Structure 1
Amino acid sequence: MMEGRSALRARSIDSAIGASGLQTFSCDNLVIGAGPAGTSCAHWLARQGQDVLLVDQCAFPRHKVCGDGLIPDALAALARLGLLDEVLAKAHLVDHVRCVAPSSRAVEISAPMAVISRYCLDEILLKAALAQGASFKSNMHFERLSRESEPAGQVNGAWFRKLGEAVFVGARRVVLATGASAAALGAAGVSHRRAPSAMALRTIIRHPDLRGQISGLQVIWHRALSPGYAWIFPMSEHCYNMGIGVFDVAEAWPQHKLNLRSLYERFVAVNPLAGRLHNEGETILALKGAPLRSGLVGAKPWQEGLIICGEAIGSTYGLTGEGIGKAMETGIMAAESMLSSDAAQGLANAQTGPMYESSLQGLRARYAQYEKANRINRQPWLAELLIQWAARSERLRDWACDVLNEKRSPEDLVTVSGLMRLLLQKS
Structure 2
Amino acid sequence: MPDPIPDQTDVLVVGAGPAGSAAASWAARSGFETLLVDAAVFPRDKTCGDGLTPRAIGELQRLGLEDWLRTHTVSQGLRAHGFGQTLHLPWEVPGGSLPSWGSAVARTELDDHLRSVAIKSGATAVDGARAVDVVRHGDKVTSVVLERGGERVEVRCRWLVVADGVRSPLGKMLGREWHRDTVYGVAGRSYVASGRSEDPWISSHLELRDEQGQVLSGYGWIFPLGNGTVNLGVGTLATAKRPADIAVKPLMRFYGEQRREEFELSGELRDQASALLPMGGAVSNVAGRNWALIGDAAACVNPLNGEGIDYGLETGRLVVDTIAGGHDLHEAWPALLREHYGESFSIARRLAGIATVPKVVAALGPAGMRSDWLMTLALRWMGNLVTEEDRDRSARLWRWAGRRSLARDARPPFS
TM-score (norm: length of structure 1): 0.79
2:89 pairs with 1:109: yes
Cα shift at 1:252: 7.1
Question: Are the equivalent residues in 1 in contact too, given 2:238–2:356 (CA < 8 A)?
Answer: no
Match of 2:16 in 1: 34
Q: Aligned to 2:256, which of 259, 268, 274?
A: 268
Match of 2:158 in 1: 172
Match of 1:200 in 2: 187
Q: Could you tell me which runs of 5 or more consecutive residues in structure 2 were left unpaired when the two chains were aligned.
A: 92-100, 402-415
Question: Are the equivalent residues in 1 in contact too, given 2:35–2:125 (CA < 8 A)?
Answer: yes
Structure 1 residues 322 and 410: alpha-carbon distance in aligned structure 2, compared to 1, 3 A threshold: farther
SS at match of 2:117: helix
After TM superposition, the structure 1 = structure 2 runs for residues 326-341 of structure 1, keeping only pairs within 5 Å, are 326-341=311-326
Q: Aligned to 1:314, which of 299, 304, 311?
A: 299
2:196 pairs with 1:185: no
1:27-72, Cα deviation, whole Å (9 max, x unpaired): 1110000001111111111101101100001121111110000001
After TM superposition, the structure 1 = structure 2 runs for residues 71-220 of structure 1, keeping only pairs within 5 Å, are 71-89=53-71, 91-101=72-82, 103-111=83-91, 112-148=101-137, 152-186=138-172, 188-193=173-178, 197-208=184-195, 210-211=196-197, 215-220=200-205
1:130-157, Cα deviation, whole Å (9 max, x unpaired): 1111101110112122112xxx242112
Question: Are the equivalent residues in 2 in contact too, given 1:267–1:274 (CA < 8 A)?
Answer: no
Structure 1 residues 118 and 411: alpha-carbon distance in aligned structure 2, compared to 1, 3 A threshold: farther
Q: Aligned to 1:63, which of 37, 42, 45?
A: 45
Question: Are the equivalent residues in 2 in contact too, given 1:369–1:411 (CA < 8 A)?
Answer: no
Cα distance in structure 1, aligned partners of 2:347 and 2:26: 29
Number of aligned residue pairs: give it: 372
1:345-385, Cα deviation, whole Å (9 max, x unpaired): xxxxx423322223212211011122133234643225523
Question: Are the equivalent residues in 2 in contact too, given 1:39–1:129 (CA < 8 A)?
Answer: yes
Question: Are the equivalent residues in 2 in contact too, given 1:143–1:160 (CA < 8 A)?
Answer: yes
Match of 1:236 in 2: 226
SS at match of 1:174: strand
Cα shift at 1:317: 0.1
Identity %: 23
SS at match of 2:39: coil
| Rg comparison, structure with higher value | 1
After TM superposition, the structure 1 = structure 2 runs for residues 333-352 of structure 1, keeping only pairs within 5 Å, are 333-341=318-326, 350-352=327-329
Cα distance in structure 2, aligned partners of 1:168 and 1:37: 23
Match of 1:18 in 2: none
Structure 1 residues 381 and 282: alpha-carbon distance in aligned structure 2, compared to 1, 3 A threshold: closer
Match of 2:404 in 1: none
Match of 1:345 in 2: none
Match of 1:45 in 2: 27
Query: What root-mean-square deviation, in Å, do the aligned CA atoms of Structure 1 and Structure 2 show?
Result: 2.8
Structure 1 residues 384 and 237: alpha-carbon distance in aligned structure 2, compared to 1, 3 A threshold: same
Question: Are the equivalent residues in 2 in contact too, given 1:376–1:382 (CA < 8 A)?
Answer: no
Q: Could you tell me which runs of 5 or more consecutive residues in structure 1 were left unpaired when the two chains were aligned.
A: 13-24, 342-349, 416-427
Match of 2:366 in 1: 385
Cα distance in structure 2, aligned partners of 1:52 and 1:371: 35
Question: Are the equivalent residues in 2 in contact too, given 1:100–1:387 (CA < 8 A)?
Answer: no
Q: 1:33 is matched by which residue type in structure 2? A: G
Cα shift at 1:129: 1.0
Structure 1 residues 69 and 274: alpha-carbon distance in aligned structure 2, compared to 1, 3 A threshold: farther
Cα distance in structure 2, aligned partners of 1:160 and 1:185: 15
Question: Are the equivalent residues in 1 in contact too, given 2:288–2:329 (CA < 8 A)?
Answer: no
Stretch moving more, 28-37 or 80-89? 80-89
Match of 1:422 in 2: none
2:342 pairs with 1:364: yes
SS at match of 1:326: helix
Question: Are the equivalent residues in 2 in contact too, given 1:197–1:294 (CA < 8 A)?
Answer: yes
Cα shift at 1:298: 1.4
Match of 2:217 in 1: 227
Stretch moving more, 292-301 or 129-138? 292-301
Q: Aligned to 2:351, which of 373, 378, 381?
A: 373
2:36 pairs with 1:54: yes
SS at match of 1:302: coil
SS at match of 2:135: strand
Structure 1 residues 124 and 321: alpha-carbon distance in aligned structure 2, compared to 1, 3 A threshold: same
Cα distance in structure 2, aligned partners of 1:309 and 1:109: 30
1:229-254, Cα deviation, whole Å (9 max, x unpaired): 1111111222110011111154477x
Question: Are the equivalent residues in 2 in contact too, given 1:59–1:138 (CA < 8 A)?
Answer: yes
TM-score (norm: length of structure 2): 0.81
Cα distance in structure 1, aligned partners of 2:44 and 2:209: 35
1:318-342, Cα deviation, whole Å (9 max, x unpaired): 000011001111111111100011x
